[in-house]
Amino acid sequence: MLSTVELKDQVQATGADLVGVAGVDSPLLREHGEEPEKLLPGARSLVSIGVALNKTAVCSGNLLLARHDTMCVYERLNHISLETVRLLARHGARAVSVPPYLPVDMGGETKGMKGEINHKTVAAIAGLGGIGSNLLLITPGFGPFVRLGTIVTDAVLSADEPLAENPCDLCGLCQSACPVKAIKEDGALDYSACASYILRNGLPGVIAIARKVIGADEKAIKGIIYSPDFWEIWQSTVSGSFYGCFECMAACPIGSDRPNPMGDNLG
């Protein structure tokens, strides 16, 4: 079986900027209600993978550039996750990749707002960063400018320790930048306000359009389906990139565009 160092080296060689390992027996994992054994019976380890966003694109003020960069990063995460699962399989371990983006369960109480596992929680336990005021993972080198994936495996790997100090210094810039004031003084996040705004070109937008169309006359329907708002929803749907806000991320002063600032610490 691969050693943890060998696994991290090969995952990084595939294109990951950050790699960490959390054990399924971590008390912190249980405190957050994560149950990886439901995804893979006999699971022993979680491999957290991070790919850095282009900070220049995210902070450009151009939503299309930020969305495109995010889409490209998720494509890379999907590739790395697939190769990691195959790598583990070649060495006799079972593993599954938890979707870093979509698909997610759209039923029940979650309504598409919760994945099979919380990537940020796993990444924090695996020592990649800490949870910031904006409830994003804040890494020492990339700040919040990173997207995450998780591999659940029955391979026995050496778990990393959580960071001794959270990189987030509670500066409050993300709170001030939020256009819908979803980040509260007490550290809570108004998920409804955030989701309604950031996903306005996703499912919430589709539902809003459907409500307008139902019962409308032909003239009103034409006005709706030929509007820029409807076309933007169509574009978001076919591209798979519909995030409509990056303000709390862009406001964070932590992070750089430097490739792999934690490179020597992955072992």
**pLDDT per residue of the chain (267 residues) written in tens, 0 to 9:** 799 999 999 999 999 999 999 999 999 998 999 999 999 999 999 999 999 999 999 999 999 999 999 999 999 999 999 999 999 999 999 999 999 999 988 887 777 778 899 999 999 999 999 999 999 999 999 999 999 999 999 999 999 999 999 999 999 999 999 999 999 988 899 999 999 999 999 999 999 999 999 999 999 999 999 999 999 999 999 999 999 999 999 999 998 655 444 444 443
Q: Both 12 and 69 in a single domain?
A: yes
Q: Both 226 and 122 in a single domain?
A: no
pLDDT confidence of residue 107? 84
Q: Both 119 and 9 in a single domain?
A: yes
pLDDT confidence of residue 265? 41
pLDDT confidence of residue 54? 97
Tokens of 48: 């957290």
Whole domain around residue 128: which residue ranges? 4-168+253-265
Q: Which CATH number is 104's domain given?
A: 3.40.109
Cα(148)–Cα(130) distance, rounded to whole angstroms?
A: 13
Q: Both 221 and 162 in a single domain?
A: no
Residues 6+ apart with CB under 8 A from 29: 22, 23, 36, 46, 121, 122, 125
Q: What is the pLDDT of residues 229-266, one digit of tens each?
A: 999 999 999 999 999 999 999 999 998 655 444 444 44
Q: Both 260 and 226 in a single domain?
A: no
pLDDT confidence of residue 136? 97
Q: Both 258 and 224 in a single domain?
A: no
pLDDT confidence of residue 108? 75
Domain count, the chain: 2
DSSP notation for 225-267: HTSHHHHHHHHHHHHT------HHHHT-----S-S-TTGGG--
The pTM is what? 0.91
DSSP state of 116: S
Cα(155)–Cα(238) distance, rounded to whole angstroms?
A: 37
pLDDT confidence of residue 263? 43
Asked if the structure places residue 235 within a domain, the reply is yes
Q: Both 106 and 55 in a single domain?
A: yes
Q: Both 34 and 108 in a single domain?
A: yes
pLDDT confidence of residue 260? 46
Q: Both 221 and 260 in a single domain?
A: no
Q: Both 209 and 152 in a single domain?
A: no
pLDDT confidence of residue 257? 58
Q: Both 64 and 106 in a single domain?
A: yes
pLDDT confidence of residue 258? 54
DSSP state of 167: S
Q: Both 90 and 218 in a single domain?
A: no
Asked if the structure places residue 187 within a domain, the reply is no
Work out the angle at residue 228's Cα, subtended by the Cα atoms of residues 224 and 232, and round it to the nearest 5 degrees: 105
Asked if the structure places residue 179 within a domain, the reply is no
